Structure 1
């Protein structure tokens, strides 16, 4: 057995400091290894930056400020078994549990799940936490009523159709799956909240993944791009019926900036795509 890789070096802001940035093809195994390692290292900094906005028991769908308590995209969750994919520190799962759902919270990152365990104890709302890859869900077929992923793991998965097929497999017939992801329109623009930076710098149609590497050229962070059409075809190809596509507008009065998301930029272009799917 090979020893685990050393911890990633951190920059002054607490996030992993890449040795380089490139665009190149990346497969499933490399994506999983890189992103598990990156999120394990980044969890403290990410939650220090965004934890207050995410809350401990809350369901935020996206940086625009859309919350499930207002949107009701999952419908009535009381008494339903719900799977959350890419739960992070699991505030959405605890919100669902408080609303009466039987929840399973799943994430690739042990670092994120460690924080979720702390918040389970602090909030008094314990949800089961599972470390697993969405491409191999450790759940029986047709065993959950609903599934959700609020800016969870899907943009980091190479085989997104395979991931969606796994979610469809564990859903009962008629079950709903709702997922929010980076809006594909964000890909061609610089990663900046400033609306003055809304100048196309790459092709919307270039699906080559964004990759951060260590000093030896190994991937330590991978993000995959799909067009809107790619997302639709992936969902339908995985066996889902697509009931709706949402592009949330910026919540009036919300001042929170989140990476390239900001009130000024959110007034001009969409930042989030939400897929509302159903297993027939």
Structure 2
């Protein structure tokens, strides 16, 4: 691991210890709930027996869904604490799982054509460039295999979701470009708010994050041999969310995008 990977691993381990939402394993899923979690585009079909790689996907959430659906699940994540949640979920449901601690930019431990599906939750914004990741995914994914990857909406990523002005809305004043985010300049803090069981909020410093512009992301995906199938926005379905709330922010400025593609 390089310095960035070690830094983000340590930050994620602290977030897991604090109980961040993304580290809470899904222990109450049924088959319908599992499919809803991982097949928002309706493209998966039957995944029974398929070799699925969850890339940067620790936490015991998507791995639980694919395990319930009968896939052969492999998880690669920087954080050993996140991988512990995947083990917990697998033991809870009783499906086999393969866990690897490592960097998404280096999949050399896997042979060519090792997987039928690569499913990547929000994680690619923790590395500075998408090309090394996309190239490695193209190598380990079989031809015709699906690659689902989520990333921060580059048009809204630097909006300050915590400061809503009824007259001016959400503010943004940073250039639209690839590169590392400065959380202090954008949000005034590098801390994530982690809600505790008693309703209190614990502030924990988050990992380093990067913006990947639309042209960089999509063109690099195409350059690496992928054919686009779907692009989806992560938004709210509440019609009248409270102004200034997270759901209101999602209605104004969808924070995440998901791309489904096929390796040519």
For normalisation by structure 1, the TM-score amounts to 0.73
Deviation, 1:191, is 4.2
Q: 1:184 aligns with which of 139, 146, 154?
A: 154
1:126 is displaced (CA, Å) by: 3.7
C-alpha distance 79-114 of structure 1, shift in aligned 2 (>3 A)? closer
Stretches of 4+ aligned residues off by more than 6 angstroms: 211-214
What corresponds to 1:103 in structure 2? 73
Which of 113, 116, 120 matches 1:145?
A: 116
Deviation at 1:168, TM superposition (A): 0.8
Tell me how large the CA RMSD over aligned residues is.
Answer: 3.2
Q: Which runs of structure 2 are paired with 1:124-139 in the superposition (5 Å)?
A: 124-137=94-107, 138-139=109-110
Q: 1:193 to 1:32 in 2, by over 3 A?
A: same
Alpha-carbon distance between aligned partners in 1 of 2:240 and 2:53, rounded to the nearest angstrom = 29
1:79, distance to aligned residue in structure 2 (A): 2.2
Q: How many residues of Structure 1 are paired with residues of Structure 2 in the alignment? A: 237
Distance in 2 of aligned mates of 1:30 and 1:186: 28
The 1-side partners of 2:89 and 2:39 are apart by 20
Q: Distance in 2 between matches of 1:245 and 1:261?
A: 25
- Compute the displacement of 1:56 (Å): 3.3
Residue 160 (1) aligns with residue 133 (2): no
Q: Do structure 1's residue 34 and structure 2's residue 20 form an aligned pair?
A: no
Q: Is the 8 A contact 1:81 1:103 kept in 2?
A: yes
Whole-Å separation in 2 of the counterparts to 1:86 and 1:43: 14
Aligned to 1:56: 27
Per-residue CA distance 1:157-199 (angstroms, 9 max, x = gap): 1231111110110001111100111211222311427475511
Counterpart position of 1:172: 142
Within the candidate set 238, 246, 254, 1:270 is matched to 254
TM-score normalised by the chain length of structure 2? 0.77
Question: Cα–Cα, structure 1 residues 192 and 123, in superposed 2: closer, same or farther, change >3 Å?
Answer: farther
Matched residues in 1 for 2:22 and 2:106: separation?
29
Corresponding position of 1:77: 47
Rate the CA distance shift 1:81–1:254 in 2: closer, same or farther, 3 A: farther
Higher normalized strand content (fraction of residues): 2
Contact 1:57 1:94 in 2 (8 A): no
Distance 1:261 1:67, change over 3 A: farther
Asked if residue 245 in structure 1 is aligned to residue 231 in structure 2, the reply is yes
Any gaps of 5 or more consecutive residues in structure 2?
31-35, 191-204
Matched position secondary structure for 1:221: coil
Distance 1:271 1:56 in 2: 26
Aligned to 2:198: none
Q: In the alignment, does 2:198 pair up with 1:226?
A: no
